Amino acid sequence: MAIKQYNAIKEMPSRHKYTDEQVTVMVNRKRASGKSQVSLGVEIVRLERDVAAAKTANNFDKSIELEARLAQMQHANEQRLAVKTEDVVRINEINKRNREINMKRDMDASASNRAQMDNMSAAQKLQYVRASASRRMYLSKDKIDVNLAEGKLVKLPDGRIMTVNKLVEVEALPDDIIPDNKKNSKEEDVLVKMERKRKAQELAVVETRVNSVEIEGDGTDIANKTIRFIDDDGTWTTIRPAAEILQEQELKKRPVVSDEVKKTRRGISMKDYFNRVKERTAAEDGA
């Protein structure tokens, strides 16, 4: 309850809404003290609202007075906007120059694009070549005849066959690449030959290496066995058992003391520690 009351008191200033009379009093007080100047935009908006309220209330004398003040504020605002600082003038000149440059670039877009294409590599030009290439679709001759009969394709006077919307050109596939009419060639493809040769070589290398591997050790677990194999230069390489390597790594690690052992250990005081240091120093000096 106390926290809720505290939060309500804390949020009270932010929830306060000033009335028109309070705003007018504060504005007049600041203006009289000369501490700060009210924004002309805020003052113009407030005067326009007051003029509308005075006319609604049929208070014509008040509305005439407010309209005079409003005209004065608008004139002052126009004078303020007419005065341009050096930074504003410089920014306007930069913007004007940039607009002129952009307009010139737009007018010379085709020339700049051609120059850019000339400086591009073949890989960079590929995307533009694909975009500018004519759309084309390939069908077998029998399918083209069927689609022409059904009205799905149209034949132009120049002999070209296109889709109904005349956006894609259709061409007939050559007879030798159609599966039914493809000729049986006795010659194998060069790439297929190279791939088969490479696989045969890899298989021969694997068989040779397998014949040159020796495994020593008892049991069936490969982790407890020593593996020896011959390299390409004729030397032998020995791989120790994985279990032996892991055991050595475990021994090199710092031993972990359990919580039960830590509880049984007795601590040493500073007095005992310094006595041990003195005894050790005396023993070293005597030796």
Average pLDDT, the chain: 77
pLDDT > 60? residue 131: no
**CB-based burial, 144-164: b 16+ in 10 Å, e otherwise:** beebeeeeebeeeeeeebbee
Each domain of the chain, given as residue ranges in start order, spans 121-183, 209-286
Of 173, 140, 168, 139, the C-alpha closest to 156 is 168
Q: Mean pLDDT over residues 55-66, rounded?
A: 86
Across the beta sheet with 236-239, the strand order is 213-216, 226-230, 236-239
Report the pLDDT value the prediction gives residue 267, as an integer from 0 to 100: 74
How many whole angstroms separate alpha carbon 43 and alpha carbon 49? Answer: 10
Torsion angles phi and psi, residue 153, rounded to 5: -125, 155
Chain segment 196-245, per-residue pLDDT in tens: 888 887 776 555 555 577 777 776 777 788 888 777 777 888 888 888 88
User: 66 with 54: CB under 8 angstroms?
Assistant: yes
Report the pLDDT value the prediction gives residue 287, as an integer from 0 to 100: 63
How many whole angstroms separate alpha carbon 139 and alpha carbon 133? Answer: 19
User: 164 with 151: CB under 8 angstroms?
Assistant: yes
Instruction: Please tell me whether the overall predicted TM-score, pTM, comes out greater than 0.75 for this model.
Output: no
Sign of CA dihedral 56, 60, 62, 65: positive
Report the pLDDT value the prediction gives residue 125, as an integer from 0 to 100: 64
Question: pLDDT exceeding 70 applies to what percent of the chain?
Answer: 82
pLDDT > 80? residue 67: yes
Contacts of 227 (CB under 8 A, 6+ apart): 213, 214, 215, 216, 238, 239
How many whole angstroms separate alpha carbon 44 and alpha carbon 8? Answer: 35
How many whole angstroms separate alpha carbon 163 and alpha carbon 169? Answer: 7
Report the pLDDT value the prediction gives residue 183, as an integer from 0 to 100: 47
Sign of CA dihedral 278, 283, 286, 287: negative
pLDDT > 80? residue 273: yes
Chain segment 245-266, per-residue pLDDT in tens: 888 888 777 777 778 877 777 7
**CB-based burial, 111-136: b 16+ in 10 Å, e otherwise:** eeeeeeeeeeeeeeeeeeeeeeeeee
Chain segment 177-197, per-residue pLDDT in tens: 555 544 454 455 666 777 788
Report the pLDDT value the prediction gives residue 192, as an integer from 0 to 100: 73
Torsion angles phi and psi, residue 214, rounded to 5: -125, 140
pLDDT-derived band at 169, boundaries 50, 70, 90: confident
How many whole angstroms separate alpha carbon 185 and alpha carbon 16? Answer: 93
pLDDT > 60? residue 114: yes
Report the pLDDT value the prediction gives residue 35, as an integer from 0 to 100: 54
- Side chain identity, residue 272: D
**CB-based burial, 179-204: b 16+ in 10 Å, e otherwise:** eeeeeeeeeeeeeeeeeeeeeeeeee
Q: Mean pLDDT over residues 165-173, rounded?
A: 81
